[in-house]
Structure 1
Amino acid sequence: MTESRPVRHSSPALPVAPQPGADPAPVGLAVERVDTSFLEALIGYNARRTALTIISHFLPRMAQFGLRPVEFSVLTLIGHNPGITARQLCATLDLQPPNLVGMIKGLEKRSLLEKRDHPSDRRAQGLHLTEEGSAILEQAQATALALEVEATPRLTPLERVTLIRLLRKVYRPDH
């Protein structure tokens, strides 16, 4: 007599956990093909795998500028927002202030940015790119745009725009 199990109905977009009591894999058999279907149905897994792919292209290409991903982000925000404060950078990039302080000192030491008195807050300093910082950022941003296309060859330009829009909906609820 065969045991009847209830049928599970679920959306194909949602992962389905193995049913308790499911037959375990036979002992002693090698896995021929790894089943990643559950993980591939998770946004976090896919986002992380995508990030790792992009970063594997990003790191070697940004090495010529001596920039890590977070430094690139900081310089980009300063370049597009001259006078931005460290507090604003921390809030925008979700950075801890002690981590940013050392990074800013390092970028200052490399003559890529400078601090200037803030026009309306005597306690704050605005951050500005130097000429050298602007030149490096311009090259680095062009490199970043090119490497993203190279890292995602199976996406059309419209699919890239759609993917970015969808990802932003996850981390920016106001969009």
Structure 2
Amino acid sequence: MATAPRPRKRAASLASPAHTTTAPNGSAGPEPLDTRVLEGLVGYNARRAYLVISATFAERMAVYGMKPVDFSVLSLLEHNPGATSRQLCATLDILPPNFVNIVADMDRRGLIERRPHPHDRRALGLHLTPAGHQLVAQAEEAVIQLEQDASARLTERERDTLIRLLQKIYL
């Protein structure tokens, strides 16, 4: 079930006369605010985009019982079997005490199992169970589709550029 992208809201120009919008029930809505300063901020725009994507993510991932962090961990384990908790925490910028609960929940759900690490006797590698593999395969398909839906207004090149630019901030 694909959802259409939300229409982009534009602030009224300061040069134009103030006006009210009409709500679907016929009542006057609030006047649009001047958001030019906010729209010039990377953080504001990243947050607004995140809100749209995360709402869609929550809706579509509810059927899988997954939050974004769950999806990230399971996807990393799908593509990096045997990764350690330490590696996952470093990659996802999660504090180890918080990660303990995430792993415990996935273990309880039968999605992961711990096995001795082949090179470090002190560490345990995390592996997906067959149920974990099945769940992450379905979830990755759903997330890829929601990302395509959310970025439908962008060309493939613009989308790639956006990802690369965002990564320059945090990598």
**Deviates most, 151-160 or 77-86:** 151-160
What residue number does 1:95 align with?
Answer: 94
Aligned ranges 1:25-104 → 2 under 5 Å: 32-104=31-103
Residue 137 of structure 1 pairs with residue 136 of structure 2: yes
- SS of the aligned residue for 1:33 comes to coil
- Output the amino acid matched with 1:94: D
What residue number does 1:4 align with?
Answer: none
- Output the amino acid matched with 2:67: R
- Output the amino acid matched with 1:120: H
- SS of the aligned residue for 2:139 comes to helix
- Output the amino acid matched with 1:102: N
Residue 160 of structure 1 pairs with residue 134 of structure 2: no
- SS of the aligned residue for 1:119 comes to coil
How far 1:156 sits from its partner (Å)?
A: 1.4
How far 1:32 sits from its partner (Å)?
A: 2.7
- SS of the aligned residue for 1:167 comes to helix
Determine the C-alpha separation between the residues in 2 that align with 1:42 and 1:62: 30
- Greater relative contact order, per chain length (Cα 8 Å cut-off, separation 6+): 2
Determine the C-alpha separation between the residues in 2 that align with 1:158 and 1:136: 30
How far 1:122 sits from its partner (Å)?
A: 1.1
- Output the amino acid matched with 2:84: T
- Output the amino acid matched with 2:32: R
Determine the C-alpha separation between the residues in 2 that align with 1:58 and 1:32: 30
Determine the C-alpha separation between the residues in 1 that align with 2:161 and 2:122: 41
Determine the C-alpha separation between the residues in 1 that align with 2:145 and 2:161: 18
**Deviates most, 162-171 or 148-157:** 148-157
Cα shift readout 1:109-161 (whole Å, capped 9, x = no counterpart): 11111000011111110000011100110010000000011112211122111
- SS of the aligned residue for 2:121 comes to coil
What residue number does 1:171 align with?
Answer: 170
Bigger Rg, which one: 1
Determine the C-alpha separation between the residues in 2 that align with 1:70 and 1:33: 35
In the alignment, structure 1 segments of 5+ residues that lack a partner are 1-30
- SS of the aligned residue for 2:115 comes to strand
What residue number does 1:106 align with?
Answer: 105
Cα shift readout 1:46-102 (whole Å, capped 9, x = no counterpart): 111111110011001011111000000010111110010000011000001011111
In the alignment, structure 2 segments of 5+ residues that lack a partner are 1-29
